[in-house]
Structures are given as C-alpha cells and as structure tokens.
A = this chain, B = another copy of it.
Amino acid sequence: MMDFLEEPIPGVGTYDDFNTIDWVREKSRDRDRHREITNKSKESTWALIHSVSDAFSGWLLMLLIGLLSGMVKSKQTDNQKEVADGMRKYILVHYFDSFSLIFSDNCGLSFPPLKSGSLAGLIDISAHWMTDLKEGICTGGIWFNHEHCCWNSQHVTFEDRDKCPEWNSWSQLIISTNEGAFAYIVNYFMYVLWALLFAFLAVSLVKVFAPYACGSGIPEIKTILSGFIIRGYLGKWTLIIKTITLVLAVSSGLSLGKEGPLVHVACCCGNILCHCFNKYRKNEAKRREVLSAAAAAGVSVAFGAPIGGVLFSLEEVSYYFPLKTLWRSFFAALVAAFTLRSINPFGNSRLVLFYVEFHTPWHLFELVPFILLGIFGGLWGALFIRTNIAWCRKRKTTQLGKYPVIEVLVVTAITAILAFPNEYTRMSTSELISELFNDCGLLDSSKLCDYENRFNTSKAGELPDRPAGVGVYSAMWQLALTLILKIVITIFTFGMKIPSGLFIPSMAVGAIAGRLLGVGMEQLAYYHHDWAIFNSWCSQGADCITPGLYAMVGAAACLGGVTRMTVSLVVIMFELTGGLEYIVPLMAAAMTSKWVADALGREGIYDAHIRLNGYPFLEAKEEFAHKTLAMDVMKPRRNDPLLTVLTQDSMTVEDVETVISETTYSGFPVVVSRESQRLVGFVLRRDLIISIENARKKQDGVVSTSVIYFTEHSPPMPPYTPPTLKLRNILDLSPFTVTDLTPMEIVVDIFRKLGLRQCLVTHNGRLLGIITKKDVLKHIAQMANQDPDSILFN
C-alpha cells in the first residue's frame, strides 16, 4: 500500500463522483495518519495535545451531531399561560437561531451549541402552523396555530378547547360566517388552494435549488454508507432546501411523513460537521462511521427512541459498523434525544412520538388477530412495493418524469379534494395515528371513544367493555374510507420530487386496520362473551380488549412489511410503550409480516428503490446461493481479447497513454512481463493520469518515450535516453487475488466484508482476469433473473 504522506500529489487517492470507494485503502490511510500522529505525540507537548484532541474529535463530533439533530417535537403543557409565553419566546429565539445557523459559516458554530438544536424543532412547529393555515388563521396572533391560538384565549372551557373566538376559519374571514353550504365550499376551496400552494412551493424549490432533496433519502444514504460517492447529496443546500420543503410537503396534506427525511437531514448535519475535523473530512471510510451515527441520531429524534435508533442504523442503514461506532452512535442518539427534551420550551413533554400507556394485559388467544394483522401488514408491504416500484419505473421511462411539478400538483389536488370531507383524512397523519393508538379514557371526547353508557362505570377508574355508540360506528366507516384512500394515494406519492417519508403513511395504514379489527374484536367479546374462546378469560363487564393496542400492532406490521425492519422496529415500538409486556404481540406481528412479505418479494422498499436507481449496493443480508465460480464472472470473458495489463518495466509513457485512451477501465494490473503474467500490483486509472500529467508538467525531461518503471529500483540507463518515470508510489502492492475456481459465494463474501472495489483472478499463479464490484452486482442481478444492465454506476 502506498504511503500518501511522503509524496502527496494533489488528487491522488480521491474519487470521482458516482464511484465506489475502496474501504481497504481508506482504512489503511487512516491508520497511517493515526500512526503518524501517535509517533509525533512523543516529540512535543503541542503534538501530544493534537493527538489527544484528535482522539476525542470523534466524541466531540457525536456531541455536536446529537445536539444539532435534537429537538423535533413540541407539545403542550396544561398550563396555558406558560405555553403562550413559551411559544412567543420559542418562535423568536429559535427561528432566528436556526437561520443564523444555516446561513453562517459551517464551522463557526457559536457557543452554546445547545441553541442550534432547534433545526428539527423548526420543522415541526412550522408544519403545525402551516397545516392549520389551510383551515383558518388566528387573529390573536398570526403566528399561532389553532391549538396555541385557543390556549391563549380567555374564552374557552376545557371541553371546547378547540373552539375559540380568536380562531377564524377562512369562511369566517371572507364571508363572515361558518354555517351553511357556501361557507363549507369556501373553506373547502381555501383548503385545496393552500395545499396546492405549499406543494407548488415545495416542488419548485426542490427542482430549482436541490434536486437531491426529494424522496426519503434512506436508499441513497444506504448506498453512500456502503461506499458510493454522490457529491452534494449530503451538502448544505440539500440540508436547507430539504428542511424548508419538508415543512411545505407535510403541510400540503400529502400522504407522507417527516421521519425518513429527518434521517437524511441528520446525515447532512453529520456530513457538514465532518468538514470541521481533518480526520473525517479527508477520509471517506471514517466519514461513513460518522454518518452511521448521524442516522441513529435522526431516528432517535424522529421517534424519541435512542436505542431503537441505534439498532435501526445497525440493521437497516449501515454497512460498515464497528463496535466503536455502536458506542458513538448510542452517544449521539442519546444526546439528540436529550437535546430534544431539554430545549423543549413547553415543559413536561414526552420524549416519544406517540406516547401510549395501556392498562389491560393481553391474552394468549389475541395472538390470532395479531398474526392476522401481521399477514395484512405483509400483504400491504408487498403490494405497496410492487405497485410503487412499477409506478416509479413508469415515471422514469415515460414522459411522466418530465413534468414533476404538474405531477405533484395533480396528486396534491386529488389528495386535498378527497381528504377535506373526511375528518380522519383532513387531520395530519401523525395526529390520526396518535388518536388510533390512544386507549379510550373517561375524558376523551373523540368520536372513537363514543361508547354507550360511557360515564356509567361500575368501579371508579375502571373502563369495562361497552357496546359501541353511534360515534364509533360512523368513525369506523370514515376510517375504512381513510384506509382505502391512504393505501391508494401513498403508492403515487412516494417517489415524487418532494421530500417524502414512508414511516408515517405505512403506520397509518396499519393503525387504521388494527383499530378496525380491535373495535371489531371488542364488540365481539362484549356481545359474545359466552363463546368458548372468550369465556375463559373475558367475563361480562370486564375490560378485555384494548383497540389501541391492535392499532399499534397493525402499525408495526405494516411498517415491517414495507421496510422489512425487525429488531429495530420492535425496539422502537417498545420504547414508545415502555412496557416489556407488549413486545410479544409486536414481535409476532413483525415476524409474520416479514415472512409474508418476503414470500411475495425479497426486497424491502429501500432496496427496491436502490435497484430501481441502479446504485451499486451490495446487499449484506442476502446470502448468494448460486454455484458459479469466479471464472464465470471475471473479465475478460472466454472469447474476449486478453486482459489489458501494464508491464512493470518495459512500457513508455506513450504506451501507457494509449492504453488509457483506448480503454475505460478504472484500473490496470501491473505484471512482471506479458509472457509470465505474474502479478506485481494494481494501479488506478485516475492516479495514473494525474501522476503522468504531474510528471510531464514538473519533472524535467519526461517525454512520451520515457520508460515507466513500477519496480523498486530502475536500472542504470544508457546516456542520451530520456529520463525514466518512477511510479511505484501509486502502485497498490497488495491487490486482492482469488483463484479462478473460487466459488462466487466466497468472492461475494470477500467483497462485502472487506469493502473491495476490484479483485484480480489468477489460475495456477498466472493473472487471468479481474472482477469489479459492478461485475459482482451484475452477476447477482443475472442470477436473480433481473436485468444486469440495471446496475448503472461504478
């Protein structure tokens, strides 16, 4: 391996855009750097301080990422006055802060960094305000959303807490009334109009400023973490535009969530912060460790689940995840979760996205409906992936893809028009999920809790099963319609050119299905408590079934079906409820869902999108099961011309330049002689071009007839011959080799585990061919009966 520290030629050792990094080389470079610092640290105190600060820079970086990613949610306290004050302070301080952060120099972080944690909080509070803007405006202060507007009011009681004179719907503002068909039409019209405006702004901003800001970002982050380079994907502009458009997209009422994009936002923060630390700026492998931790912090703030976030990063996103990264991710995720809580100005908020507390234990028999929900989740997952991918492929291949703005506007219009009449579609999806997860208490005024004899409880505080009232029945119908709408519209929404996450829509679908089944079970148990399946454990008047738990299990099942997460999904859900009790139902549903979905299609949605986009991602989970050998995959194929090689001491600069111009290979093996085909090393095309150019410019007398030497010592040259060019320093002297009879399963394993870019193939000690990562991916695609040309990049 060459030593970059001795003779640095600018550019050598870097990568082109849309290329794969060589993990072995990057890690080797980092170890060289570390070794140098350690050696120097013995020389002077200053170097020692440098070495210590270098060792702790990783932790400092994690701290900063955690702080920056923190603060997503802001919920209410019971004390209304306090809220209103907090609100005003909050908006002023944090809006200012966030913008000053974004537009200031990346590295000039002002202390205390705690204040800069408000980025995600900004997203959340703006989205709330804008969502309500579609329905009306607060005359008590235009910057208040509906909820905060009424808290600030003196004219409301607890029961009517969302009706107050300060809050005016659009019909009240325009035609001064809220009654009658015309007012309804005015409100309807304004709702659709605002939705279209938000969507238009979102898609235009994305299109003009940062095309990479669209989608959930998780497929691309997975690819980047596996060692691919996409310049700008985690940059400043992507961060700014994604943050703004995410708010707009969520506010427009489209069927999308902000949790997935938050992972992208957290990774952008991580990447930008990396620029402040030499150790991470210059090394692609080290930077990816930081990004893994940033992804964990992103999930941690999105769901308020630090352990779940770390496991999500480990299971779903990361590729190279050493134990040190596990520990650091955990740290970053915790800091993020605590920042979120500490700077929350509304006090006693819960850390988690959907806080649920159930009181009734579940019965073994209930595993049957839970497994049914798992099957539903698996079916929906498989169906969603198939149809969504088919639609995205159509977008890619037909004229449709050329009009992203029109597409977004059409989908937004349809969503808004269909959503307005139904209160469950009109409310934001996360509110809907909250309501579905909720176990009905005595004070709940929701339609879903409208049971007969509500206030007629036998014992104080206990809520027995009751017959459903009119409200519940109408809610059931509305939920069924919501379910159909969400199922259909999400397929067309995910993949459009706006930021869009999948967690929330998937969970909503599952939660609705679960709640429907839960209420059904509850009523069945109430009316038929003498049935054999019920009478052993569910006596009349007892509280046997918790429909909220069914909603939660359904949400886990659907999310599992779409993403194929397993442990991390269960742990995230466990952190939401906080009780070990409900892990078994969640696990049963998640497992069933994964098995059913896997039976219908092997890939999760992120992997499917990676394949759709042709990214060179080598899946670490799938075993390669075919019995092919390295010789079946290597290039050149049997009837092709021989492998292009360089010799170590007989080619001139001109010869090499001819080889470079005639081929497009990204690297060339160097051999002792063409006859023996004995391998010496491997040289990268990019390094070769840069070095020859550099030599022609600087080194005296290097001309086209100069001989290039890759050997350690060049032989004495006769006089009057042009000076030689020594290139041993760019030669990789330890290229990986396998024999031609190595099974591909082992080759795939080596590529995965060592993170190789290419591998040379020998037969009985002679060089025979080369296998690149792209060849491996093409071969895997071919063996799975897919189009091998779908792999696009190197």
Contact = CB atoms under 8 A, between A and B. Distances in A.
B734 A680 contact: no
A765 B567 contact: no
A677 B766 CA distance: 11
Contact of A742 (B314, B734, B754): B734
A327 B567 contact: yes
A44 to B, nearest CB: 21
A746 B762 contact: no
B679 A765 contact: yes
A734 B745 contact: no
A459 interface: no
Given A327-B566, A571-B307, A749-B754, A334 B765 contact: no
A262 to B, nearest CB: 19
Nearest to A621: B323
Oligomer: number of copies: 2
A323 B566 CA distance: 10
Interface string A1-41: 10000000000000000000000100110010011001000
Interface stretch (A103-111, A140-148, A579-587, A691-699): A579-587
Instruction: Provide the main secondary structure of the chain A interface.
Output: helix
Interface string A349-369: 001000000000000000000
A636 interface: no
Contact of A765 (B315, B733, B765): B765
Contact of A739 (B34, B330, B623, B735): B735
A743 interface: yes
Nearest to A580: B351
A765 B591 CA distance: 50
A289 to B, nearest CB: 13
Interface string A735-768: 1111101110110011001100000001011110
Contacts of A750: 754
A646 to B, nearest CB: 14
A584 B338 CA distance: 9
A620 interface: yes
A621 B677 CA distance: 39
Given A627-B35, A737-B737, A1 B743 contact: yes
A570 interface: yes
Contact of A580 (B306, B326, B583): B306
A587 B310 CA distance: 15
Interface residues of A, number: 68
B330 A567 contact: yes
Contacts of A754: 749-750, 753-754
A331 interface: yes
Contacts of A620: 323
A578 interface: yes
A327 B598 CA distance: 15
Contact of A741 (B323, B734, B738, B767): B734
Interface in A604-630: 620-621, 623, 625, 627, 630
Contact of A35 (B314, B625, B742, B766): B625
A677 B765 contact: yes
A307 B738 CA distance: 40
Contact of A672 (B315, B734, B745, B765): B765
A326 B567 contact: yes
A334 B625 contact: no
Interface in A520-548: none
B625 A678 contact: no
Contacts of A38: 625
B678 A587 contact: no
A34 B765 contact: no
A658 interface: no
A372 to B, nearest CB: 20
Contacts of A324: 621
A750 B749 CA distance: 11
B567 A625 contact: no
A398 interface: no
Interface string A307-326: 10010001100000001101
Contacts of A721: none
A785 interface: no
A676 interface: yes
A302 interface: no
Given A337-B580, A677-B765, A31 B625 contact: yes
Contacts of A34: 625
A483 to B, nearest CB: 29
Given A327-B567, A762-B765, A334 B587 contact: yes
Contacts of A767: 765
A74 to B, nearest CB: 18
Given A327-B566, A765-B672, A765-B765, A24 B315 contact: no
A583 B627 contact: no
Contact of A734 (B571, B743, B753): B743
Nearest to A331: B587
A583 B575 CA distance: 14
A734 B754 CA distance: 17
Contacts of A310: 567
Contacts of A566: 327, 330
Given A34-B625, A734-B738, A754-B750, A678 B337 contact: no
Interface string A642-684: 0000000000000000000000000000001000111111000
Nearest to A574: B307
B31 A745 contact: yes
Contacts of A630: 734
Interface in A554-585: 566-567, 570-571, 574, 578, 580, 583-584
Contacts of A762: 737, 765
Interface string A38-60: 10000000000000000000000
Interface string A162-177: 0000000000000000
A743 B567 contact: no
A737 B343 CA distance: 56
Contacts of A1: 742-743, 746
A686 to B, nearest CB: 21
Interface string A422-440: 0000000000000000000
Contact of A323 (B315, B584, B734): B315
Contacts of A735: 739
A632 to B, nearest CB: 14
9 contacts: A31-B625, A38-B625, A306-B580, A326-B567, A331-B587, A678-B766, A733-B741, A733-B742, A734-B742
Given A35-B625, A672-B765, 14 more contacts: A307-B307, A315-B323, A326-B567, A330-B570, A334-B583, A630-B734, A679-B764, A680-B764, A734-B742, A734-B743, A734-B746, A736-B738, A753-B754, A765-B766
Q: Which 7 A-B pairs have the closest CB atoms?
A: A678-B765, A734-B742, A733-B741, A753-B753, A765-B765, A327-B566, A678-B764
